[in-house]
Amino acid sequence: MFRYDEGQIEIPDTEIEAFKTMLTFIYAKHFNGLDANNLLDVLKAADKYNITGLVKECADFCANVSIQKLPNVFVSFQEARFLNVEALHWADEQCRQNDIECSANNRRKMLGQALFNIRFPLIPKEDFTKSVVSTDVLTMEEVISVYQHYSHPNLSDAPGLFPLKFPTHRRNKSEGTIEMEIEKLSEFAVEEVESQRLSDAVEIGRFSWKILAKIKTKNESTAEKWLGFFLYNTGSVKENWSFKSSATLRIVSQKKGTEDLIGKFNDDIFKDLTGFGFHNFISFAELLDPSKGFYNKDEDKVKLAIDVVVDEPKMEKIISDPNKSNGTLSMEIEKLSEFVREIIWSERKSETVTYVKGMPWKILAEIETKNESTEKWLGFYLLCYTSEKDGNWSRKCSATFRIVSQKSDVEDLKKEFNRAVFNNKVLSRGWTNFISFAELMDPSKGLYNNDEDKVKLAIDFACDSELLDPNQGFYNKDEDKVKLAIDVIMYEPKIEKFISDPNKSNGTLSMEIEKLSEFAREIIWSERRSEAIHIKGMPWKILAEIRTKNENTEKWLGFFLLCDDSEKDGNWSRKCSATLRIVSQKNAVGDFKKEFGEKVFNNKTNDWGFTHFISFCGINGPKQRVVQQRRGQSHLGH
């Protein structure tokens, strides 16, 4: 540690103005001194002293200024902003400042050993080829070693391979701990509901984080006050960017022999969400009880802490088959005995996301109670893992929930629901009290792996589509219409009777149903037909009908390929395969398709298709238990 009386302290390898700009950012949280001339020096200083927030601001500054106003040092900067490849461009700038040619040898000379700290293997192959190989800064052997890594990332220094000299680890996560002491806790506890305290900010994962503590109540009918405890993101997240944050929220024990009181979550935080946590972490009556071990009565204070893990920001690229209508989710809850000791509404989510009907889905497991009892239960839910909370969307799903057996002679524990509606107000459905933890952790039940202290959950589910939902992308709401199409392949007829081109064996029928909302209100068996086209000598049409399912009042679109021939008594036959499509009205959504293969049409069966192709609109199915708004977003202010 430096003493105040030891004279001047030298800060090597950092320009004075850049250092001043960095200090201004640290202490005043503004950076008016940042410009195109000192950008590199500030970035270098921020990286050297691990000021991740300032690194981000330098990157954003570059992204928001036209390339003509910046040195060529930042060509391709945006693609490599998290890979330290900006060092290559820093070398170019150093060459210019020293009035020497930006040659491969000079770049390597300027970089020195730092060249081998650049994570070239993590740069996308196309960007590496375009932005790195073309500079000739790497030798041919080094270039080949990187391409070998792209093809065989798990091989290292194998015989016949060029040795890879560059690091391959990702700086894809940042970790840190935020701490806050709430002093004069007894006074804070009697303040109005929604009163709050904020900690100082801590830079974690390129963003600034705080602890947010609030006065909450459990419901409107009670005056008992609770501590709301949240991880708060103080910075704005740019459009289409997201990052995943996992956090362990702790009230730190003040007593030996007493464990910290813990709650955990793992959530993606999008631009419209400022924080996650627990509305009712602990009641103030319990928190202020010295016997619990959390309250320092002598100093009238409590200590809060949050351990945070943040992934690097990433662009959301949702690649989804719009026709995929079912999927299976699975998750292992490890260290189950530790999970069960956490507070109510602590949660675990499955790591992977499965896209079904264009929406992301996960398993959500929570700690729950039953009828105000202290006994803990497993809450088990299917979660639509989306930030589209304000969008007018809905999906209707059926699901089978399973706790997977750990014994060969024990079956999975199952519960299921049918055709429950998910929308912007109801993101999750399932069971608040699926099984008590006492029963779940009983090894004789066969569901708990006692040796590894874990349990496995799974959900098999399927989602319907709804034709009149504009967000599905098939219904043109402005013109109140939908477009149907059938792609037909015809096989040789048994008895030849050609009315048109005898060589025509395939074709596409299309039809627009206009005033669709009116058609949907008509009675069952009402229909619409397209104009006919001739294939293999027979006239073919699209047939659309109003149908129902299992005597339910909900209406469905029946969608058929119809051979509309008048000679019903004639001895004719055609064998066809067809793809029936509802044509997408959105660029990002594919057509909704179903198909059949080699069906025989004749005078007795002149249509084939689907009685329940898609429902017209959502009608709520049986009521299911819904996750209430006990956790989730929290904003500053009232």
| pLDDT tens digit sequence for 349-395 | 988 788 888 788 999 999 999 877 789 999 999 998 876 554 667 78
Distance between CA atoms of 578 and 594, rounded to whole angstroms? 9
The two three-digit tokens of residue 263, written as one number: 């709650």
d(CA 57, CA 53) in angstroms, rounded, equals: 6
8 Å CB contact between 214 and 634: yes
pLDDT the model gives residue 545:
93
pLDDT tens, residue by residue, 273-331: 567 888 889 999 999 999 999 999 999 999 999 998 876 554 333 444 555 778 899 99
Q: Is 455 within 8 Å of 407 (Cβ atoms)?
A: no
The domain made up of 173-315 has a fold known as 2.60.210
Residue with tokens 């399927």: 462
Backbone CA torsion sign across 319, 322, 328, 330: positive
Domain boundaries, the chain: 16-151, 173-315, 326-466, 470-615
pLDDT surpasses 80 at 74: no
Q: Which fold has domain 470-615?
A: 2.60.210
Return the number of other C-beta atoms located less than 10 Å from residue 266's C-beta: 17
pLDDT of residue 438: 95
Which residue from 346, 254, 230 is spatially nearest to 303, judged by alpha carbons?
A: 254
The answer to which of 253-257, 262-266, 334-338, 626-630 has the lowest mean pLDDT is 626-630
pLDDT value, residue 31: 59
pTM, full prediction: 0.50
Q: Which amino acid is at 570?
A: G
Nearest-CA neighbor of 609 among 563, 562, 564?
Answer: 562
Give the per-residue pLDDT at 512: 93
- Pick the range with the lowest mean pLDDT from 237-251, 422-436, 514-528: 237-251
> What is the amino acid identity at position 420?
A
H/E stretch holding 287: helix 284-287
Identical fold, 326-466 and 470-615 = yes
Q: What is the CATH number of domain 326-466?
A: 2.60.210.10
Band (pLDDT 50/70/90 cuts) for residue 429 is: very high
Return d(Cα 304, Cα 561) in angstroms, integer: 66
**For residues 21-50, average pLDDT:** 73
